[in-house]
Each structure stands twice: as structure tokens, then as C-alpha cells.
Amino acid sequence: MPLRKMRHITGFVPQDDIVHEDLSVRENLSYAAHLRLPRDLADAHRRAAVIEDALDMLQLRHIQHYRVGSVEKRGISGGQRKRVNIGLELVSSPSVLFLDEPTSGLDATASNDILTSLADMAALGMSVIAVIHQPRFSSFMLFDQVLLLGHGGHTVFVGPPGVAVLYFHHGLGFTLPPRENPADVLMDILGGKVPREGNTRYKPGMLPSWWTVKGHAWVQEFEELNQGHKATGFSWLGCDSQGEVVEVEPEMIEYMEEEFD
């Protein structure tokens, strides 16, 4: 598809919020809709419907008439401001939405609320692709697929988030300490801060090669083995609802350990 056509089906939400501080939430969305929607969607009734949908999807209706504000001028909260920033792209009804660190600068609760809204959008058929750092475990598990990058931007894992925990813990032999956020531990592994048990020669630079040689096929086979398995909580993925690693079927552990001896 030509790049000039791509812009009609994609939206991009930058890390920094680009909103009109002196306008209300609704006015910001209305202004964006006037500018972004194609001419055939520019009539008042259809444009209004898009704005109403954005207010509901992003849980902004109760503050729709509040001025956005800024650091100097008190307005809505940081999390709400981020939602408005997302709404500026959402009113264009993109098929694919890209977000650069949508939770940056937000507390864990506000971050989880943002990601929950994005998960709702994905459930309605929109493809949502986001760069995110330091998610809490419940937020991490909201993603259908995660891409973990090592040093130099090389791929070290692609797959469901819960399978990532299994891959690094049982497949590669890394220890995930109890009562710690597995998502944080995975980031530590990628940064070379976690040793690999029983392998003094291990270096973080090996992770991309392991993924290329065996990891990708391992994840595919693991998913095939678990087709039709209905998850209850997170236990089938090797983690409980608090993010602590739990027991996996012995034959599955044996299979994973054999693959990465």
C-alpha cells in the first residue's frame, strides 16, 4: 500500500501530549474531528457520533466540558489529559493505532486505565501497537502479543505475555523471584542484570540468537500444545494473579528444558 494511503488508516499518538490547553475536552475532540475526518464524514451528525464514541470509549464524558489546562493553568489530571491526546487520533477512526509510551509519567492506576481502554479498542477490531516501559503485571497481561527487544534493538521474544514468563523462566532457566513483578524481571533480564542458572558463560547478547535458533519455534509449538486450553486466571501460563510463578505440568517443563540445554 502506498504511504500516502497509509495515513488514512493509521493514527499516531506521540509521547508528549499535543492538546489545546484553553479548550475543553469536547472542544479538543471536535476540533480534531473537523480537521481529520474525510469530507464525506464531515457532516455535523456523523461527526458528532464519532466524538460521542470517543468520549465513551476513553471514559471522558464526565469531564467533557472541563478545560484541559496545563502545568500553569489547572485543568484535568495527567491521565485524563493522556486520554484526550489519544482521542485526537481516535476521532479519525484509524484501523491501526500506534502509541509512543502512552503511560509515561502516569501512576500505576492511571496507566492501567489507559491500557484497559486500549484493550477495549483492540477488542472492537482496531490494531493497537504501543511502546511501553515498566508495566505492572495486570497491565502487561492485557496485551495479546508482546515484542521484547534486547541490546541493539534485536528481537528476543514475540508472543503472548504469559508465555514470555514461561519462556524465560522454564525455557531459558532464569529465576523469577517471588513477589516481584515478572514484567520488571523480564526487563532486568534484557538489561543483563539477571544471571542464568547453571551457565556462567551466559551473556545478554546470546538472547537474540537463542530466539532465532529455537525460541520462535518453541513458542509456536507451545501454543499448539495448549490450543483449546481455557485459561482460568493466569495459572495456565505459569503465573498466578499476583504475578508469582506457579507449577506447570512436569511434561511441559521437561520439554522446555530439553529444548534449551
How does residue 102 score in pLDDT terms, banded at 50, 70 and 90?
very high
d(C-alpha 155, C-alpha 174), whole Å: 18
In this prediction the pTM is 0.81
Q: Is the pLDDT of residue 81 over 80?
A: yes
Which tens digit of pLDDT belongs to each residue from 110-135?
999 999 999 999 999 999 999 998 88
Average pLDDT of the residues in 219-242: 56
Give the three-state DSSP class for 219: helix
> How are the residues of the chain apportioned to helix, strand and coil, as percentages rounded to the nearest 5?
50, 10, 40
Q: Is the pLDDT of residue 173 over 90?
A: no
How does residue 42 score in pLDDT terms, banded at 50, 70 and 90?
low
**Which range (78-87, 155-164, 189-198, 221-230) has the least confidence?**
221-230
Instruction: Report all structural domains of the chain as residue ranges with CATH numbers, in order of start.
Output: 3-133 (3.40.50.300), 146-259 (no CATH)
**Which range (67-76, 190-199, 236-245) has the least confidence?**
236-245
Give the three-state DSSP class for 222: helix
Among 149, 97, 155, which Cα is nearest to 121's? 97
Residue 222: per-residue pLDDT: 81
> Strand 146-149 relative to strand 155-159: parallel, antiparallel, unpaired?
antiparallel
Average pLDDT of the residues in 38-60: 83
Q: Is the pLDDT of residue 1 over 50?
A: yes
Q: Is the pLDDT of residue 247 over 70?
A: no
Grid coordinates standing for 180? 516481584
Q: Is the pLDDT of residue 240 over 50?
A: no
* Mean of pLDDT over the chain: 83
**Helix ranges (DSSP H) in the chain:** 3-6, 25-36, 44-57, 78-90, 108-123, 137-140, 161-166, 182-190, 207-210, 216-225, 250-259
Residue 256: per-residue pLDDT: 46
Residues whose CB is less than 8 angstroms from the CB of residue 224 and which lie 6 or more positions away in sequence, other chains included:
none
Residue 77: per-residue pLDDT: 93
Residue 67: per-residue pLDDT: 96
- % residues pLDDT > 70 (the chain): 84
- From residue 256, give the alpha-carbon distance in Å to each of 12, 67, 91, 111, 252: 38, 54, 45, 33, 6
Which tens digit of pLDDT belongs to each residue from 204-216?
889 999 999 889 8
How many other CB atoms are found less than 10 A from the CB of residue 156?
25
